[in-house]
A and B are shown apart, each in its own frame.
Chain A
Amino acid sequence: MASFSAALSSELFRMLRRKKATVLLILSFGMVAVALLLSLVVRGGLGILGGTGAAFPTSVLGVYANTILPLFVALAVTDAFTSEFAHDTMKIVITKPVTRFRIYLAKLASVGAFILANLLLVMVLSMVVTVAFFPRLVSFGWAVEVVAAYLLTLFPLLVLAVITAFFANVLKSSAGVFFLSVLLFLLSKALSVVSALSYVLPTSLLDWYKLWISSVMPFGSILRTLLVMAAYFALFTALGFRRFDRRAL
């Protein structure tokens, strides 16, 4: 366990020192600012993104989790895997006393921490905006709903991360992995519109927080989505690790 902690802290330390992570967090900040601006210029307050001002945080989440955040996930995963192989820095950690399985998990966990940080940043910003502009609409129940929506979105984004990590261990080019991820994301989005089996597509999972915050909680749909996510996670973690473990440096 100590070796896993060392690998994870190493990943997080390096992520924080890289400019890319900071840039992505600033972009997240900018995303909320743009959403707020768009909302304010439209008559009816925050109507462009949601029905009411109180829905601003979840409306921002809906747009953010389906557009920019998956791109950030792809960038973080390629940084953690493909770039390290390409720059030969993977051997720094591979030759340390830590198994490849723990390295793989530490890399995925660091990507998870990055996603969570992004979600929390956008959540806090959007909540602050709502409190500032619509203080009368804010309540404890509202806050719980918003926090739940943001935290629940971490899981489908982790699924996207493990799928991308598999490709990052198959392809050798960071650009190739990034563009393949974008292509597959768009394809999945398109299929989810036309396919009757849209609920099994990874991109459809991104909106699963809506199941939890709807007035009547559909337990069957929640369980089905949970199982689909668990299946994706287990399958692509196993496939990705298999590639990572066998890769010669």
Chain B
Amino acid sequence: MEREIAIGITGLTKLYPNQRGIRGIDLDVRQGDVFGLLGPNGAGKTTLMKVIVGMMAPDSGDVRIFGHSVLTDFEKALFPVGCIIETAVSYGYLSAADNLRLAGRFYGMSDEKRIDEVLETCGILKYKNEKASAFSLGMKQRLGLATAILPRPRLLVLDEPLNGLDVEGMVEVRTLVKRLAAEEGTTFLISSHLVHDVERTCDRIGVILDGRLVRVDATEDILRDHATLESFFLSEVDRHGKL
């Protein structure tokens, strides 16, 4: 049986005044996919993610999340979504727990046990009552991840989720992604400049070059023809004459 479409993107275009951005992107990400976005700096990965989560409106096209359009049915579309875009941001004058309590209000959640659970999962439970302004970059990233997974989202959009994390943190995040995908069927859309990490985490890959989605394939199929994801990515860049 074909899985439900978690993210359905049709003809999505968003151009900045300098003509960078994304152009005519069509993409389906199905429930349970761990989809990795690869692309050079400025290719349009973050722009695509920003449009998906409503941080900016597209010039044309639409994004449907589990069938709900982000343009016409925003609240229903975003309800099953957790995200970290660019950098994980939190209110510095609030404790980690208060940041999570605030986020929980938007999902009708006030479960203290769940807050402890996600803080434990992200390795910052002992800092629960400390203000976020005192956190290091890595701890802020962990808090951002805790906030994103708090409402048990069906879809997680993670833009450079490993930013600021130490090796231990990177392994923990990778394990968490795999566990949530396997046990809860969570769908992931991940962009990362760490190709090796994408290779080990994602089961489908999309390559964005110059604002266009030029290739979508299963990681397994890619690795059948290429020694590593890195060599595949470089060959794609080369093929499209972008190097």
Q: What 0/1 pattern do residues 51 to 67 of B give for CB contact below 8 A with A?
A: 00111110000000000
Give Cα A92 to B99, complex, Å. 10
Give Cα A2 to B89, complex, Å. 24
Q: Which A134-162 residues sit within 8 Å CB-CB of chain B? A: none
Count of CB-CB pairs between chains A and B under 8 Å: 70
Q: Which B66-99 residues sit within 8 Å CB-CB of chain A? A: 74-79, 81, 83, 85, 87, 89-91, 93-94, 98
Give Cα A17 to B133, complex, Å. 14
Give Cα A97 to B81, complex, Å. 8
| A94 lies within 8 A of chain B by Cβ | yes
How many of A's residues come within 8 Å of B, CB to CB? 27
| A contact residues around B81 at 8 Å (CB) | 95, 97
Q: Interface majority SS on A: helix, strand, loop or mixed?
A: helix
Q: Interface majority SS on B: helix, strand, loop or mixed?
A: loop
**CB distance B55 to A3 under 8 Å?**
no
Across the two chains, which residue of chain B brings its CB closest to A14?
A: B91
**CB distance B103 to A17 under 8 Å?**
no
Q: What 0/1 pattern do residues 86 to 116 of B give for CB contact below 8 A with A?
A: 0101110110001000110111100000000
**CB distance B91 to A92 under 8 Å?**
yes
Residue of A3, A18, A248 near B93 (CB, 8 A) is A18
Known: A6-B105, A18-B93, A249-B50. A91 touches B55 (CB 8 A): yes
Residue of B75, B78, B94 near A14 (CB, 8 A) is B94
Give Cα A131 to B236, complex, Å. 81
**CB distance B78 to A92 under 8 Å?**
no
**CB distance B106 to A3 under 8 Å?**
yes
Residue of B56, B83, B90, B91 near A248 (CB, 8 A) is B56
**CB distance A6 to B106 under 8 Å?**
yes
Known: A9-B105, A10-B105. A97 touches B78 (CB 8 A): yes
Known A95-B53, A96-B78; 11 more pairs at CB < 8 Å: A3-B106, A6-B108, A7-B106, A14-B93, A19-B93, A91-B55, A96-B103, A97-B77, A98-B75, A246-B57, A248-B57
Name A's B-contacting residues (CB within 8 A).
2-3, 6-7, 9-10, 13-14, 17-19, 87-89, 91-100, 246, 248-249
